[in-house]
Amino acid sequence: MLPVLLGITMHDAAHGWVARKLGDNTAYEKGRVSFNPFRHIDLFGTIILPALLVVCRSPFNSGWVMPVPVHFQKLRHLRRDMVIVAAAGPFANLVLAVGSGILVHVTAFFSGGGGNMAKADVKEQDIRPCLFVSFQYVADPTARRWSRCGRPVAEIASPSLGAPGAL
pLDDT digits (tens, 9 = 90+) for 99-145: 877 877 777 777 765 555 555 555 555 566 666 555 555 544 444 43
pLDDT for 6 equals 82
Residues facing residue 150 across a β-bridge: none
70 touches 59 (CB < 8 A): no
Which of 6, 8, 33, 30 lies closest to 19, judged by CA?
A: 33
pLDDT for 57 equals 92
**pTM recorded for the entire structure:** 0.68
pLDDT at position 13 over 90: yes
